[in-house]
Chains A and B, each alone.
Chain A
């Protein structure tokens, strides 16, 4: 650089930077948006807003959904990692509530009605039982997204809460912040992992694996909004509940016939 590069010139050069920054700052996101918009298959995320319905009264606790999820999404097979699981509630006549989910309910549940079930053998009488499938609620107001220090977990335009495993630092704050226990740390990648509504399937117009395999249609998938989907029908015809509404997370997994005992 020549000697003539004095302060005046330097400042003048500096002035060019803000416009350059602005231009680059605009080009970047625009390019990103263009990339995020309709992909090569013509999928347009802004045109969708996904949600799930769960009809508790239809669930038979077969665990096929858990199996399908583990297979489809390569979830570690050990019984500590689940993107979805099924809980069984047994309410006794004395008011006691027993909940179990052996291996996430993946192989179904041991029978309760006969004497092989210890509480019943001990003389306890069952008032009612039911199964509750659980998964990430894809909250509209997700605490996991709020706490992620680096923005590795985010809400997509089509309403799905996702984790960027190439960006997650593995601090596990999101796991602490989720009121539903829906997240785990993948022991292979050391990053947070959770249900994606089978994002790779739904963006191709397919159903999530758990919904696909459910033999009783206890799981209903679809969209919130104008589009006519099975979920829309369910939402019109049923009384809906969400889990832990007092948390104000605004879940997008809607339950019918949800018992007050379920947390």
Chain B
């Protein structure tokens, strides 16, 4: 037995207050399981943002359309990694595909994930980039030529008819993709919301709350990435686009906060047997991460900032700064949200009589280092994707009199 793990359990035992079942000293879903819904939330949110441009014709968001898709892909690639790393037997993970228990919400993960990756994201990105890939391949040299040739899957046709078909395909996939994105993250919410044994998780609102927090996180992440990449490329930020992003971020934040408030008021009003221990949890162990970070810094402050900047006559530089700060705060807030759900739900005993503690390890399979690595990895993948599939408008200008997206619609 791992002595470090035992020492950790000993220390947790020392911090128990009240009564917990003896098997509850060990907290089972660690920081890795916090990261998982954080990452899938970003995937779903970024995709929904992309679909705003494509399906709902929010043309101001055009500069972030492809960026949002690549962001979603980068995070989706990493999303299953924390799950895999967390398993007691990672080498048996394939059993979920071979012998899924149809009654288990978790068993559906593989299928939802595969559907989303293969059918939605990769297909949409491929069709959207296909014509560009063909053009790039012609002008490329060296390795990139090969890479683009492989990704284009040998496709060559850039006749107007083919490009029109691409456009139709993307439209269709996006329409399929929106419910899929809802499914992807709503389903993660269901994994928690359907655990009737846990009063902090068990709520029919959980998938909906997860969904809106996902949209919030996706929009703010794309805003941040758009901001940073544009500055790094020494280009001008499209203020119309930023303003629109800020507006959507503001609206979804308000919906998100309302849902959280509804959940809170509902629990308080029903005052079920768990209310006392949840009160201790909220005002004790989770006070900092829930009240201060999630609600105040992560939701209310950004709402005030965004509303103030969006609907005022501030200079653009000032607005941009405020949007940036608000988006960073939202990210911190959303991460806290995931923390408060996953870790918070395990800090109290199912006897409803006591609280336990979670101490984050530094090293080890479920430690801080691995967690940070998993949070950095999507950005590394994204950087690579941006190299291979530049989403910038200036990269797609071609000598052909191909109408640009804005002209077409």
Contact = CB atoms under 8 A, between A and B. Distances in A.
B1 A150 contact: no
A85 interface: yes
A78 interface: yes
Interface string A198-210: 0000000000000
Nearest to A188: B1
Contacts of B267: none
B95 A169 contact: yes
Main secondary structure of the interface of A (DSSP, over half): loop
Given A80-B23, A188-B1, A150 B95 contact: yes
B26 A149 contact: no
Interface in A72-89: 76, 78-82, 85, 87
7 contacts: A79-B22, A101-B21, A143-B196, A147-B105, A149-B101, A173-B191, A185-B26
The 9 tightest CB contacts between A and B, nearest first, are: A170-B88, A181-B21, A190-B88, A179-B197, A99-B19, A149-B107, A149-B106, A150-B95, A172-B28
B375 interface: no
A151 interface: yes
A150 B103 CA distance: 10
Contacts of B106: 147, 149, 171, 173
Nearest to A262: B351
Interface of B: 1-2, 5-6, 9, 13, 18-26, 28-29, 83, 86-90, 92-93, 95-96, 99-101, 103-107, 109, 191, 195-198, 346, 349-353
Contacts of A263: 350-353
Interface string A225-250: 00000000000000000000001000
Contacts of A134: 21
A247 B197 contact: yes
A152 B89 CA distance: 12
Interface in A158-214: 167-173, 175-185, 187-191
Given A168-B89, A181-B20, 7 more contacts: A80-B9, A98-B19, A150-B107, A172-B28, A185-B26, A188-B1, A247-B197
B88 A78 contact: no
A175 B20 CA distance: 14
Nearest to A87: B19
A170 B83 CA distance: 11
Nearest to A77: B1
Contacts of B6: 78
A169 B89 contact: yes
B9 A176 contact: no
Nearest to B9: A80
A104 interface: yes
Contacts of A182: 23
A168 B101 contact: no
Given A82-B23, A143-B196, A191-B89, A175 B352 contact: no
B196 A170 contact: no
Nearest to A104: B22
A246 B184 CA distance: 31
A117 to B, nearest CB: 16
B25 A80 contact: yes
Contacts of A172: 28-29, 88
A175 B28 CA distance: 8
A101 B103 CA distance: 34
Contact of A146 (B89, B93, B104): B104
A171 B353 CA distance: 26
B96 A173 contact: no
B208 to A, nearest CB: 21
A187 B5 contact: yes
